[in-house]
Amino acid sequence: MATTLPRNADVADQFELLADLLELEGTDMFQVLAYRRAASLIRETPRPIAELALAGRAKELPGIGATIEGKIVQIAEVGEMEALTKRKQRVPPEVVSFMRLPGLGPKTVRRIWQELGVTTVDELRRAAELEQLRTLRGLGAKTEENVLRALAAKPAGPPRTLLGAALPALLAVVAVLRDHPAAELVCEAGSARRRRETVRDLDIIATASDPKALTAYLTQLEWVAEVSAHGPTKATVVSQNGLRFDLRVVPPHSYGNLLQHFTGSKHHNVALREDAVRRGLSVSEYGVQDVETREVFQTRSEEELYAYLGYQFIPPELRENRGELEAARRGGLPARLVEHGDLRGDLHTHTNWSDGRNTVEEMAVAARERGYEYLAICDHAQRLRGGGLERQAAEIEALRERVEPLRLLRGVEVNVRADGSLDVSDDELAGCDWVVASVHSGFDRDPTGRIVAAMQNPHVDCIGHPTGRKINRREPADVDVTRLIESALATGTALEINSQPDRLDLIDAHARAAAEAGVRVVVNSDGHGIETLQYVELGIAQARRGWLTADQVLNTRPWPEIAP
């Protein structure tokens, strides 16, 4: 048996590859779909799936049965499931990649492979150039053209844009459109409305007294660099900085149906429609049809739509098919998720004592202007060597009265070293109001053990950005979040949702698991300047995606209730 268990992402990768290979072999597509669903479920499950499977408990997850659990056990025990090992020998490895070319699906790829004997990308290019693809029934010159264009394009698409970069722009566009005289209802949709951490296109749904005027208005805004599509009810534009906005003007009587459809997620909508079918209802973006009476229900309001289908209203952040439909059906959703306005303070910020851009006073004044009751200054301990921490403490002390009623807290961000020790002595930590401990290097050197060790220190109040991931740049460290949660619970240590746009760490699923276990979760900006204190809006969005209520977020409480 392997000594270390495979990560959920590795297990999920194997199921996805298996699904691809089965699809190419022409296996029943519902079986393929079952593997795909299992893969995405495994990917976002906070608990180690291999451990669950070995204990015979993976079956408790909806979508995993005895067969898939058995395959997970094989992965845990020998590294790869048998079904995959067998099929990898039958299908040439590059053939799978053909399916990622736009326009080529499993059926077409299979015929190109088996009927033309094409097994590599180079051979595929040659077959298209030599006009051999068109010898297959159903393929023509256009297909060859598309294949060649796709092969000539850059291999991977652009990385997804950070929500933190896209959302302010999107909300600004929504506001501008709302101001137009022809506009009635305007709302962002898609993954940005669900506040996913990264987005591709930015969707906007609107109703208007004069749809043509509204779409035309969008295409003429000064920041528009390119108009990709422009019709009477739809327009797509690209901004100077490369963001793609998609505006759809829809009829007011079905605005609710369309907004719901275009908000997604796909998985949420599929599950919602499957559930509806079982009750004799057919759901589409145009309405809900009663299959027997043929009557169609259309509504201006999403709230009414969910109510009609028998659900509590489901906030967009929860629409990922992670149990929200079942919960909403039995009235089990949180009555109210945490909101930005619930925050009473920020417990992780930096100043120009380390790598921040503003002074302690500037940060304090900005925090007070935001309406905070408290602010912890947590500069990097490394930069405060040689008595810096003490001198900064004196400055904070001297400022306290001047920034009232804000409560200015002496904090510090200490580094968890490779051996699990901290870079500040216990004596110095004892003088601080709030201590954040974070891993900043050596991510592959037992991160779990080091963080757990740091939590044992009674002065450590919070673990900063627990997995260290940076979206699009650095994978999360191989942190066993379940162990972190257990240890945080035992030691009373808080876990951070770091709101930096490229961190958002903990992720939603981990924050949810932590809060459900009773761990104190803190939403911090990690702001390095006054203008970045507002990043907490992203952290709050992440917390909402993790189903967190205000009760479960530590810094919605007054400082005396938090003070260690």
The half-sphere exposure of 115 on its side-chain side, counting CA atoms within 13 A, is 13
235 lies in the site for DNA, by CB under 7 A: no
CA distance 497 to 522: 6
Query: Could you say whether residue 130 binds DNA (CB under 7 A)?
Result: no
Nearest CA-CA partner of 298 in 329, 260, 331, 326: 260
Is 198 a binding residue for DNA by CB under 7 A? The answer is no
Burial class (CB in 10 A: 0-12, 13-18, 19+), 441: exposed
# of chain residues touching DNA (CB under 7 A)? 49
Which C-beta is closer to DNA: that of 78 or that of 141?
Answer: 141
Instruction: Give the residue, chosen from 67, 85, 114, 240, that forms a contact with DNA under the rule CB under 7 A.
Output: 67
Would you say 64 or 205 has its CB closer to DNA?
64
237, 264, 302 from 252: Cα distances, Å: 23, 19, 12
Quick one: which of 342, 489, 464 has its CA closest to 411?
464
Token pair belonging to 379: 């500069």
Q: Which is nearer to DNA, 15 or 547 (CB)?
A: 15
For residue 228, the minimal CB distance to DNA (Å) is: 12
Question: Could you give the C-alpha distances from 140 to 107, 137, 147, 392, in angstroms and in order?
Answer: 15, 8, 11, 72
Over the window 76 to 105, marking each residue x when it contacts DNA by CB under 7 A and - when it does not, the resulting string is -------------------------xxxxx
- Residue 204 to residue 200: CA distance in whole angstroms: 13
Asked whether 357 and 371 are in contact (CB, 8 A), the reply is: no
Q: Which is nearer to DNA, 62 or 431 (CB)?
A: 62
> In terms of CB distance, is 66 or 398 closer to DNA?
66
Binding DNA (rule: CB under 7 A), the pick from 269, 299, 349, 354 is 269
Mask 278-307, x = binds DNA (CB under 7 A)? Answer: xxx-xxxxx---------------------
Give, as one character, the DSSP assignment of residue 384.
G
Does 323 interact with DNA (rule: CB under 7 A)?
A: no
From the list 126, 266, 336, 385, which residue makes contact with DNA (rule: CB under 7 A)? 266
Smaller CB distance to DNA: residue 288 or 514?
288
- Residues paired with residue 497 on neighbouring β-strands, in sequence order: 523
Q: Which of 56, 65, 159, 492 binds DNA (CB under 7 A)?
A: 65
Residues in the chain: 564
- 536: tokens are 């907490």
Binding string, residues 204-233; x marks residues near DNA by CB under 7 A = ------------------------------
Point out which residues pair with 216 in neighbouring strands.
none
**Residue 91, C-beta contacts closer than 8 angstroms, at least 6 positions apart:** 21, 24, 25, 113
Does the protein bind DNA through residue 62 (CB under 7 A)?
Answer: yes
Torsion sign (Cα): 103, 105, 41, 476: negative
Smallest distance from the beta carbon of 556 to DNA, in angstroms? Answer: 35
| The residue to which tokens 């898609």 are assigned | 190
Cβ count within 10 A of residue 99 = 16
Strands (DSSP E) along 407-530, which ranges? 407-415, 434-438, 462-463, 494-498, 521-524
Q: Tell which positions 418-437 bind DNA, by CB under 7 A.
A: none
Of these, 6, 46, 48, 106, which contacts DNA (CB under 7 A)?
A: 106
Find the binder of DNA among 148, 216, 270, 327 (CB under 7 A).
270
* Residues 132-171 contacting DNA, CB under 7 A: 134, 137-143, 146
Q: How far is the CB of 110 from DNA (least distance, A)?
A: 8
Interaction residues for DNA, span 9-28 (CB under 7 A): 28
> Are 122 and 204 a contacting pair, CB within 8 Å?
no
Choose the binding region for DNA from 30-38, 315-323, 374-382, 506-514 (rule: CB under 7 A): 30-38
Toward DNA, which CB reaches closer, 148 or 176?
Answer: 148
Residues that bind DNA (CB under 7 A): 28, 30-31, 33-35, 38, 59, 62-69, 101-109, 134, 137-143, 146, 266, 269-270, 273-274, 276-280, 282-286
